[in-house]
Structure formats: C-alpha cells, structure tokens
Chain A
Amino acid sequence: MAYREKRKMVAMLLAGGQGSRLGVLTNKVAKPAVPFGGKYRIIDFPLSNCVNSGIDTIGVLTQYQPLELNAYIGSGQPWDLDRQNGGVFILPPYVKGKSGEWYKGTANAIYQNINFIDLYDPDYVLIISGDHIYKMNYQYMLNEHIKREADCTIAVLQVPWEEASRFGVMNVDHELRITEFEEKPENPRSNMASMGVYIFNWDKLKEYLVRDENDTESQNDFGKNLIPSMLLNGENMYAYEYKGYWKDVGTIESLWEANMDLLEHNAPIELDDPPWRIYSRSANMPPQYIGKDAILINASISDGCNINGTIENSILFPGVKVEAGASIKNSILFSGVVVKENAVVDHSILAEDAVVNFRACIGQTKRNEVNDGSPKITVVAQNTVIEAGAVVFAGESVEGNVSREVKA
C-alpha cells in the first residue's frame, strides 16, 4: 500500500523497562521517559540518533507505565517523525486471537511485533534501547554490516575491566568477528561490552525469533538466548566498535554523573551540536529570568526558570523557581521544582514539581559520617513537599510530605 513503502532498515526501540534501580524517579514513568540534561528525556537520544542517521520508521515497544511516554512521543513531530510514510509507532503488547500476553523478554517483544516489521518489508532491523546517553550514527554501523555480509552486528565499546561483568561481553578475532559472547559474566574474559545496539538481517532474525519462541527453556532475551544461539550455529556475527561517549543511566548515581558530565569544561558529550541535534518535546514557556540576587557558577538553566538564588554546578529543567538566599549545588532539578528562600540543596535530584520550603535542607551530610569520596545522591520524588526547616540526609530517597525537623 502507498503509505507503507518498503524500508531498508526499521528501528525497534525497547522502551518497556521499568528501571527499578532509579527508585522513586520511575514511580510513574518508564525509564526512557526519565528527564536528562536540562530539557531532554533519555529516549530523545536514541530517537534523535535514528532521525539523524536517516532512519524514519521506528517502533517503540512499551509496557511499564507507558502513559507519560505515549504522551511525550505523541505524533512524533518534535523528532520529525510524523511522516506520511513510516514515522514513529508506539507498540504495546496486545491480544492476538485467543491468546495475548505481556512482553516476556526483549526477544519476545520483537517476536510479538513481527507483523509490524513485515509491513515495511525491511532488509535490516536495528534494535536499540531507551536506556543510554550517546550520539551515534547507525548508518555507519549498517555500512559495516553490509560490507562484511554479516547476519548480525553488535555495537561494542571498551569498558573498564572492573565494570565488564555488568554487560554482555564478547571476544572477537582480528577482523572483529565475534567468537564468544557472555551475558553479564562473573569473570569476564574481555572488556568489549555490548551497547545493546544490534543490526540483524531481518530474514535471519525472524528465523531465530521463531525458534527462540518455540524453545520453552528460553528466557526470550537477546543477550541471554538469541545471540548465543546464533553464535552456536556459526552465523556471521561481527562487532562494531564505537569510540564516543556512552553512558548507561540505569542507576541514580550514573544518572547524576552523566548529567554532571555535561557541566564539565570540555564536556565529553556536547549537546550544542547543530549537525547532530538532540530533539525533544519542549514545554512552551517564556525565556528564563535571572533576578538581581542570583549567583550563577557553572550552571545549565532552561526556559521558564526564575532564578534569584545561588546555582552552582547544577542543571535546572524548564520552569524551576529558586528564591533569594536559596543555594543549589551539584544538583539536578526537574521541571517545575520550587526552592523557597534560604533552602539548601546539595548532591540531589529533585523530581518534577517538588517543593522545598523555607530553610529546608536536602542532601545534608550526617554529623560524624565519614565521607569515602563518592558522594551520596539524595532523591526527592515527584510532587513531594518538603516542609519548612525539614532535613533530608544525603543518600536518602523521599516521597510524599516530609516534615522531619532535626534538633540542633
């Protein structure tokens, strides 16, 4: 049909993960919808990468708390994905005939959408996830994939050895052909970690998806089942080495660190990059206003903010209000946060619309506590109200109303 032309490559973005390690930040939203970098959400990165790489047909697989994500993606217009042909499609699990079930694993999620992919009759399928911050041209990876006549190409990057056991790691020969693949091994024999970015020949992938589905022992996961099984059968599998900035933001600490990376003098990832813009759905707000009492030291501030306090090494999302005498340090304030007079916020993440009242203190280090060097990040959940004078200690995570007073 005319509105479903053949595509060379279709992207499938796995966005169903809960991201439970992000704690209260994913109370109401799926991990890909978690805010990042002053005006973005994590999913803006893979989506913008796709669009900037010339991929215009993208299925977004959702499952956990999809409302926010659905509303955010909408017609796909902010990413130029409201197309006559292709565009972005939200793909939740659905009922088929008498059956119908949740996505059991990453491979099963794609399996359940074989019909969607077939609509576009692609030669290749790109599998990506909505969990990482990076800028990558998938077209280069596809070129390599085609050149090597591979069945599957996995994007890899070298990680520090001590972290390798958190990833799917692989051994490759001198031509980058994958010889071994282990998902989260206890004793990694390589530090080439999978970025969770795969390109498959669609025919081959389909064959393995069906086979994997019929295997009752399988956990239906790409890293645990499908890729090892392809390797076992001697398919042509190559690694594609990526050398740029890539950050998994699956934990509070890594989310905080990745945000702080943006504030560095020579930021390892530059977002002010017109040829490779990161697109996002923006709130319509007036420009920011910096008042007479504001002190700004290495800060990133967005539209709609009204700043009268001290902001140091911090990232403020749209519509944040900081009153005079308040001090924000090393923190990330999501949209609509209000920090009242003389409140103190340090090493914290304040989720949407949190209110920190007069003289409250967020992220205070306990007395007698020995600091081991790595800062503890305090998290305040969405819509939380911190009463005047209340204290939230470093490393805590709070929601609801907080009115604890600490005796001096």
Chain B
Amino acid sequence: MNALGIIFSYSQRENLRELTKRRTLASLPVAGKYRVIDFPLSNFVNHGIYDVSVLARNNYHSLTDHLGAGKEWDLVRKRGGLRILTPFARHDTEKPGIYRGSIEALAYNMHSIRRSMSEYVVITGSSYLYDIDFTHLMQTHIENNSDVTTVYTRKKPVSGEIPQGAAVMDMDDTQRLLNIGLATEEDGAKNAAWAMDVFVIRKSLLESLVADAMSYGRFDFNEDIIKRLISNLCFRGYEYNGYLLEVNSVTGYMQTSMNLLDPGVRAKVFQNPVYTKNKDSVPTRYAEGCYVSNSIISDGCRIEGTVENSVLSRGVRIGKNAIVKNSVIMQNTEVMRDVVLDHVILDKDVIVREYRSLSGHATYPVIVEKGSIV
C-alpha cells in the first residue's frame, strides 16, 4: 500500500502506574507473549503497510530490544521496512526528548518521514488493541477526497465509559466533521463517537500542516490542527466496529487480560496473525498435581500449582501448591510454592517467595514492579 505507518509508542494520557515506570506503553507485555506494539505493527503488515516508523519518546530501551530490526514482522526491507525514530534533541529546551505534543513529535522527525516514498501517512497510537482494515480505510479516504480521515468508534472498551481525555466527534450525515472536543460525562451516556487517535492524511499535507502549526507554537493535533481548520479543510470520520481493548490504564489492562480469556474475543483478536519476537522457548510443562483452568499460557512455562482465570507470559514458573487466580504474570517471573495470588499483576523477573499471599481487586490490582522479590 502506498502509505507510511507511524506508531506513537507512548501516550500522554496513560495511567499504568508501575508498569510503565521503566518502559514505554508500546512495550508493555500483553496477552501472554505479546507486547502492545505487536498489535498495531501486525495490523499494518497484515494490510500491506510495509513502511513503518515507530516514534519513541522515553524509556524506549525495551521497545528497541523487542523490535530489533523488525525481522519477525517481515519488516527488514530495502524498500520501506521498520524505523525507530528515537527522540531528537531540541536546541531550545532543557528537557531534551520530551515533546510538547504530537505535532512537535512529528515535526522533529519530519526529516525521516519526508524520506519515505509513500504518498499517504497512517498514524496510530498504542493505547488500544484493534484490527482496522487499513485497505478499506485508505480507499474510503481517497474516494471521499478527504483531507484527513479520523477513525472513531462508539464502543466503550472499559466499564461503559468513553476513555478519559478522548476527543468526541460531531459529524454530519456524510461523516464530515463538524466539531471535535473533549468527552464529557453526557457523551458517554449519549453513545457518542470518540476518536481512536488513528487517522490518514496525505504526507505532503501533513508536512505543511505540521510546519505551519510549529511556526505558531501549537502542538496539539486535535486542538490546533483539526479544530482550527475544520471549516477550511475536509475532515471526515470512519467508523470502526471491530474488537477494541484498552491498555492505557491499569483497570483497562486488567479488563483486557480477562476479556482475552473469552473464546469469542480471542477468535477476533487472533483472526489475523499477530507477530511477536521469537524467543525459542521450550513448550510449557505441566507437572503432575497441577490444576489449570480458563487461562492463557505462553511457551516456556513450568506449572506445578493452580492457575485459574489468568494470563501467563513466557518462562513463568508456578510452584507446588501455589494458587494463582485472576492475575497477569509477565515473563520469567517465579511464583514459589504455597503462594496465593488474587488480582495481581506481576511484572517481569519477579520472585514471589514461599507462603506469600497477595490480593488486590479487579479495579485496583496489586502491581509488583519488574525485578522485585516479594
């Protein structure tokens, strides 16, 4: 496809507590063996977008480690392929690498974006998991002669509310955008259309809009480009109806993990292949005396205890008589014998020693930081 895909690997509005203390949102482990970025990246590749730039802001070590050269996503290419755009030091600030908004992030990486031979740009964030038909989106964008097509949805990923800080879109019958603004409580009740931060734009137009906004010191895409130019340019909405899972808050992350245990949800999420880094792990071993029910288990685990309604990443060890319920356990974490866990998120490389007991709640799970020993 004649498009450059850009993924913002961070979010201004995420609330993931300890989980993103040392990593960027896009490299958050999810659904067992995946990282959040595997979803938008696979989504691009599955729809023929093989020219992809990932915008990194801070703590992107785990992200570069995960993506490598892009081999697993088939993005090692001479034409296009994967590029990680690490922050560019600015001359005029004491805080290098921290962009003042998405416009500034794009502006400072324009030298790379400009080099792409693609005519269009598809921009997406890392806050939600979804599977958009980019081929159809692009076709709609071109047929309607739109300047910007913004993807919106009326779905509510977590507890019947529009995610905090999302922009609500007001459109006419032809889906032409009339107004855009922050969601209010009433919007949630009204089944309003809210923007998923995914849009298509012609690359040359993006370049001039970004340059223009920068020269006036404006940094917010929705506020400073869309809203200001709403009557001059043709902005249109494109409704997304597929699955939508939120990962940019702890509650959303927990709910997403639990939703994935549903066979119907899994069937949709994995309808198209989702690629991830290959670890050459061994198959998972279930010892005599283990009990596993309704759980997602990745390769390389060794399970001797009980695991119920939980999601395990690769290389997790669950000891004898341990009971793990409603929890998410990330890579290479060890839960020793006779431990009891309920509504807990254990980050990578954690050790929970014998006879410990941790218990949280669905809306406020216990989070144990990467590398901790409990």
Contacts and interface: CB of A to CB of B under 8 A. Distances in A.
A298 interface: yes
Interface string B29-60: 00111000000000000000000000000000
A307 to B, nearest CB: 9
A65 interface: no
Interface string B305-328: 001000010000000000000000
B286 interface: yes
A268 interface: no
A315 B283 contact: yes
A287 interface: yes
A290 B285 contact: no
Given A287-B312, A296-B291, 19 more contacts: A39-B283, A78-B278, A277-B280, A278-B280, A287-B31, A287-B298, A287-B299, A288-B297, A289-B297, A290-B292, A290-B297, A298-B288, A300-B284, A300-B285, A301-B283, A302-B283, A302-B284, A303-B298, A303-B299
B363 interface: no
Contact of A286 (B32, B287, B307, B312): B32
A77 B297 contact: no
B82 to A, nearest CB: 16
A289 B284 contact: no
Interface string A292-319: 1010111111110000000100011000
B13 to A, nearest CB: 28
B145 interface: no
A288 B71 contact: no
Contacts of A371: none
Contacts of B270: 286
Contacts, number: 87
Interface of B: 31-33, 71, 261, 263, 266, 269-270, 273-275, 278, 280, 282-288, 290-300, 302, 307, 312
A294 B275 contact: no
B241 to A, nearest CB: 22
B288 A297 contact: yes
| 10 nearest A-B pairs in the assembled complex, by CB-CB distance | A287-B32, A38-B283, A296-B286, A287-B298, A302-B283, A290-B292, A286-B270, A272-B282, A299-B286, A300-B283
Interface in A366-404: none
Interface of A: 37-39, 77-78, 271-272, 277-280, 282, 284, 286-292, 294, 296-303, 311, 315-316
Contacts of B286: 296-301, 311
Nearest to A300: B283
A284 B72 CA distance: 9
Q: For the complex, would chain B's binding face be called helix, strand, loop or mixed by DSSP majority?
A: loop
Contacts of A300: 283-286
B299 A302 contact: yes
A316 B286 CA distance: 12
A294 B292 contact: yes
A291 B307 CA distance: 11
B74 to A, nearest CB: 10
A279 B274 CA distance: 21
Nearest to B261: A289
Contact of A289 (B266, B287, B291, B299): B266
Contacts of A37: 283
Contacts of A278: 280
Contact of B296 (A277, A282, A289, A315): A289
A315 to B, nearest CB: 7
A38 B280 CA distance: 12
8 contacts: A78-B278, A282-B278, A286-B296, A288-B298, A291-B294, A297-B288, A303-B298, A303-B299
Contacts of A288: 284, 296-298
B71 A290 contact: no
A327 B152 CA distance: 47
A299 B291 CA distance: 12
Contacts of B307: 290
B300 A284 contact: no
B284 A292 contact: no
A290 B295 contact: yes
A288 B294 CA distance: 11
A60 B75 CA distance: 28
Nearest to B269: A286
B203 to A, nearest CB: 31
Q: Which residue, of B274, B280, B291, has the highest number of chain A Cβ atoms within 10 A?
A: B280
Contacts of A292: 293-294
Contact of B280 (A279, A286, A315): A279
